[in-house]
């Protein structure tokens, strides 16, 4: 059974004259990392908010583990670009906020925190307040804060788009390591074709009016960097084929 099933989903915002997305069909498995790519305004964030349970579709249905998605849950987390960390809490307190609120046993929280601090390289910043941190370090905190919940689905809505290239590469490594160790389903939204090619086992292309899923492709170049593919003409044809579908 797939982890997430989206069937014929359509959504229209109240007061807007038209549907934002229509007839979305998508099936995602546990232990997969998937990228959604598509032009601005096509409905990528709307789709994430539907998966999270923040929005409810007027048409179609979304199911996780064969149960309808009816409301927001810590089992489905979103990391946003502006991440909204708590400035009055330090790094450790930010990361553990969710499970502390849910009354997860302290020992379990501390165990997970120790592992996450190590995996994200935040060990030496654990007592720093988040306003003292660079953008890249804040993104690590935002990722750790979601991964500590061990959600079934973790979504990133253009989380890395404001970072410089080097910091973004570091975040890709950290994300892949966290994902490999957790085995959950990760969904990454990006505008960046090279980020999609590096991070996505599956690349989901959204386009059309209203927005819909046009194609899902298995990516043979998952985790292959642009630098290593520089003389590979098949890679560039594949990249071009994807770019053509984003027009």
Alpha-carbon span 129 to 142, nearest angstrom: 13
Alpha-carbon span 167 to 88, nearest angstrom: 25
32 binds ligand ATP (CB under 6 A): no
Alpha-carbon span 142 to 140, nearest angstrom: 5
Alpha helices in the chain (DSSP H): 44-52, 91-101, 106-119, 135-147, 165-182, 193-199, 233-244
- Toward ligand ATP, which CB reaches closer, 40 or 127? 40
Selection from 42, 34, 61 nearest residue 50 by Cα: 61
Q: Which does 226 bind (CB under 5 to 8 A by kind): ligand ATP, Mg ion, none?
A: none
HSE value, Cβ hemisphere, 13 Å, CA-based, for 51: 32
35 binds ligand ATP (CB under 6 A): no
From the number of C-beta atoms within 10 Å of its C-beta (0-12, 13-18, 19+), residue 210 rates as: middle
49 binds Mg ion (CB under 5 A): no
Element (H, E) at 31: none
> Contact 191/45 with Cβ under 8 angstroms?
no
Least Å from the CB of residue 87 to ligand ATP: 25
41 binds ligand ATP (CB under 6 A): yes
SS3 label, residue 162: coil
149 binds Mg ion (CB under 5 A): no
- Toward ligand ATP, which CB reaches closer, 40 or 107? 40
Packing angle, helices 91-101 and 135-147, rounded to 10: 20
40 binds ligand ATP (CB under 6 A): yes
Which residue of 45, 49, 159, 219 would you call a contact of Mg ion, by CB under 5 A? 45
Q: Which does 46 bind (CB under 5 to 8 A by kind): Mg ion, ligand ATP, none?
A: ligand ATP
Q: Which does 13 bind (CB under 5 to 8 A by kind): ligand ATP, Mg ion, none?
A: ligand ATP
Least Å from the CB of residue 115 to Mg ion: 31
Q: How far is CA 63 from CA 8, 51, 69, 193, in A?
A: 12, 9, 5, 29
Which residue of 8, 13, 100, 225 would you call a contact of ligand ATP, by CB under 6 A? 13
Write out the binding residues for Mg ion, residues 100-129 only, by CB under 5 A: none
42 binds ligand ATP (CB under 6 A): yes
209 binds ligand ATP (CB under 6 A): no
219 binds Mg ion (CB under 5 A): no
The pattern of x and - marking residues 43 through 72 that bind ligand ATP according to CB under 6 A reads xxxx--------------------------
Q: Which residues bind ligand ATP (CB under 6 A)?
A: 13, 16, 20, 38, 40-46
């Amino acid at each position: 059974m797939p982890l997430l099933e989206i069937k014929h989903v359509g959504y229209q915002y109240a007061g807007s004259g038209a549907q934002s997305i229509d007839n979305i069909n998508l099936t995602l498995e546990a232990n997969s990392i998937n990228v959604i790519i598509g032009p601005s305004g096509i409905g990528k964030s709307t789709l994430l908010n539907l998966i999270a349970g923040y929005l409810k579709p007027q048409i179609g249905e979304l199911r996780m583990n064969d149960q309808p998605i009816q409301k927001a849950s810590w089992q489905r987390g979103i990391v946003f670009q502006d991440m909204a960390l708590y400035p009055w809490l330090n790094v450790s307190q930010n990361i553990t906020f969710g499970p502390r609120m849910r009354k997860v046993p302290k020992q379990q929280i501390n165990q997970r925190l120790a592992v996450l601090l190590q995996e994200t390289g935040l060990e030496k910043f654990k007592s720093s307040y988040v306003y003292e941190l660079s953008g890249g370090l804040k993104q690590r905190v935002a990722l750790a804060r979601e991964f500590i919940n061990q959600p079934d689905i973790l979504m990133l809505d253009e989380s890395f788009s404001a970072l410089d290239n080097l910091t973004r590469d570091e975040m890709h490594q950290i994300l892949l390591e966290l994902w490999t160790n957790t085995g959950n389903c990760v969904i990454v939204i990006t505008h960046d074709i090279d980020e999609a090619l590096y991070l996505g086992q599956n690349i989901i292309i959204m386009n059309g009016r209203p927005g819909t899923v046009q194609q899902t492709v298995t990516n043979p170049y998952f985790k292959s960097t642009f630098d290593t593919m520089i003389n590979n003409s098949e890679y560039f044809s594949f990249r071009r084929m994807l770019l053509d579908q984003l027009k």
